[in-house]
Each structure stands twice: as C-alpha cells, then as structure tokens.
Amino acid sequence: MTQASLEQRISKLIRPEVRALHAYQVPPSTGMLKLDAMENPYQWSDATKQAWLDKLADVEINRYPEPQAQGVKDRLRQVMGIPSEYELMLGNGSDEIIQILAMAVAGDDVCVMAPEPSFVMYQMIATFCRIDYVGVPLDSQFDLDLSAMLEQIEARQPALIFLAQPNNPTGNLYSEEKIRRIAEASQGLVIVDEAYTAFTDCDSLSLLGDYDNLVLMRTLSKVGLAGLRLGLLIGKPEWLGEFDKLRLPYNINVLTQASAEFALEHYELFREQTAKLRQARSSLIEALQQLPQLQVWPSEANFVLVRSLEKPAAELHEALKGAGVLVKKLDGGHPALAGCLRINVSTPEENQRLLDALQAQL
C-alpha cells in the first residue's frame, strides 16, 4: 500500500472532526521541576510505602477485579461524608466519567455546554461523541456570566452543563447562587466538577438534595493519587443506574482498587498534605504579586494563573524550561488566556526554585 492510498483510506474512515483534532499533549518532564499538571508533590514515608506494598503482595492479579469496587466506594463514603441516599460510580479518572455522560445523551440535536475557558476535556469528549459543544465566555474576571449562560440554556437546551468548581485553569469559585440559578433553568443535567475540592472550603454536596438534575464529579488525582486514575460521580441512584450501563466492565483494576482502599484508610495523610499546599499557595501568590511583570489571580485550587505583562508568554515558558522548570503554557489555547501560564503549587522549596527562575527570566 502506498502512502497516498493509506492516507486516502484514513481520510475515508476517520471522521473529519477527529482528524482536525490535536491529541492531548503531555510534554516530557524527566529531570524537570514539574509544575504543569496540578500534582501533589509530597511522597509517602518509607513505612507507609512498605505497608502499601505488603497489601499489594496479596492481590490476585490473575483474577478479574471486583466489578463495582465496593470496598473503594465504602471508604470514599466515609472519607467524603457522602450520604447513603446517593450512589457512586467510579471511573478511570474523571475523563472516563465525562465520556460516559456524553455517550449517555449523544444523539441528534444534542449539545453540551460549559463556561470557558474551562477544562478542555468537556469540549474534546463532546467532539469525540459527535455532540455539539457550546462554550459560554466567562466575564472579564473569569466569573460566570449568568445572563449569558441563562440565555444560551434557553436557546440551546443543553443535555449536559459542566461547571468546574473551582474552575480550571482560572482557579476561582462560582457563587452557589449562580449554580442554583443554572440548575433551576436547565432541563438537562448539571455536573459540578469538584476536582479541586480538597483545596477549598466550598462543597456542593448539599445541592444534591435540592435539585434532581444535578450530580457531582470528583477525583483522587489532585490530593496525591494521580497515578491511580480514579474519579467518581455522586448522585441519585436513578441517574447513576443509567450511566453505569455504559461503564465498561472491570474498569477499575485490582491494583488500583487495593491501592485506593489503602490510601483512603490513611486519608489523614492527604489532609495534612493538602493543608500544607493551601498554606504554600498563599505564600506563593503573595510572592508572585511582588513581581510587577506578572498579573496574578487568586486561587482556590492547587495552582495559580498568571499573565506575563511584558515578556511573551511562549518565550517565558521556554526560558523557564531552559532553567529546568516546567509550567503550563495556556497562551494560544483560548483568547481570554492570552499571555497566561498556569503554575502548580508545590513545596516551599520548589516554589522558591520557581520564583528564583521567574525573577531571572522576567
């Protein structure tokens, strides 16, 4: 087969909207100070690691996993205070849950809505599932433009509305009143994505009892278990019973289940670590605000959004990489994020390395 005929076959079989996409890029980070992926920088103690490895030694990897991962669910209920009247569904990260939600509603004249800029996977997965995506711009302060959201809800009647709380990549919270207004206006399902709930006092769990068309999505990635890829959906059993039909069998493998159960038994460790990161966030924001070349936004997540006011963001990003510091370049991804970088909050020592590198490059 010639190259031309191969390309012709691909063009014939692969949908044009898929060919137009760019794959989600994860840059190499070996040897770098990695501040681009909202990870918890803290490791477990040697004793905790050994106890975890001892648990894994008893896992029967020749057997299929427990299909519902009930042990993980039970511990999540305890740790997160999830009332018994709500059901849980686990996913291979939040991405799989978003995909299941989209697959459940996919069809003609269906749309998915989200404010933007926000988590890019809302739009990407809608595209994967051949669903129209409607992005409603945030206001100049990255807050929900409630009138614009309500106008688009009435006009488009979205099947799904995603609200990241706090929002990624801007780090801010939306008011509970605005979320309530959106839930009340929507005939579809509202998904409050609380991926960063460990870094804020805001908690939308109480809203589940007030709205039949609202569910919560959370993850263990940001608290320190990114390598497990474990997300969860919380909501009324009637909703989750439908979504669970689309969840692939055994989607949470035996090693992830055993590791998650162990970690949730030691969850106080993660509470201590996230408390340290919240303190470090305050210090980092204060230090960044002392750099007049940067615009710095407040944050309720484990990252900080900044805008380079003098040096082009792409140039600053490359300069930091050259200094061994990897942050996320948002410039070019959305017009509202022109000149912006997103910086992971880390340990005081790593935050200082970042600040030293910034001062040297600005």
User: How many alpha carbons fall within 13 Å on the CB side of residue 286?
Assistant: 7
User: Each residue of 200-213: pLDDT tens digit?
Assistant: 999 999 999 999 99
Instruction: Tell me how far apart the 2 most distant CA atoms of the chain are, in Å.
Output: 61
Residue 289, helix vs strand vs coil: coil
pLDDT of 261 reads 98
Token representation of residue 347 = 């340990």
CA 57 to each of CA 45, 52, 61, 118: distance values in angstroms, whole numbers, following the listed order: 18, 9, 10, 40
Whole-angstrom distance, CA of residue 344 vs CA of residue 40: 9
Mean pLDDT estimate for the chain: 96
Domains of the chain: 3-45+269-361 (3.90.1150.10), 62-266 (3.40.640.10)
Whole-angstrom distance, CA of residue 282 vs CA of residue 130: 42
Taking alpha carbons only, the member of 92, 124, 94, 117 closest to residue 172 is 117
Whole-angstrom distance, CA of residue 19 vs CA of residue 12: 11
**Residue 5, C-beta contacts closer than 8 angstroms, at least 6 positions apart:** none
Say whether pLDDT at 43 is over 90: yes
pLDDT of 28 reads 78
pLDDT of 19 reads 83
Q: What is the DSSP letter of 346?
A: -
Token representation of residue 269 = 């460790």
Residue 103, helix vs strand vs coil: helix
Say whether pLDDT at 21 is over 90: no
pTM of the complete model: 0.94
Whole-angstrom distance, CA of residue 231 vs CA of residue 319: 34
Range with the poorest average pLDDT among 6-20, 278-292, 298-312: 6-20
Say whether pLDDT at 334 is over 90: yes
User: Each residue of 103-161: pLDDT tens digit?
Assistant: 999 999 999 999 999 999 999 999 999 999 999 999 999 999 999 999 999 999 999 99
pLDDT of 2 reads 85
pLDDT of 184 reads 98
Q: What's the rounded mean pLDDT across residues 301-324?
A: 97
**Amino acid found at 151:** E
Q: How many CB atoms lie within 10 A of CB 28?
A: 7
Question: Where residue 64 falls among pLDDT bands split at 50, 70, 90?
Answer: very high
pLDDT of 18 reads 82
Q: What is the DSSP letter of 14?
A: S
Element (H, E) at 73: helix 70-80
Whole-angstrom distance, CA of residue 259 vs CA of residue 261: 6
pLDDT of 20 reads 81
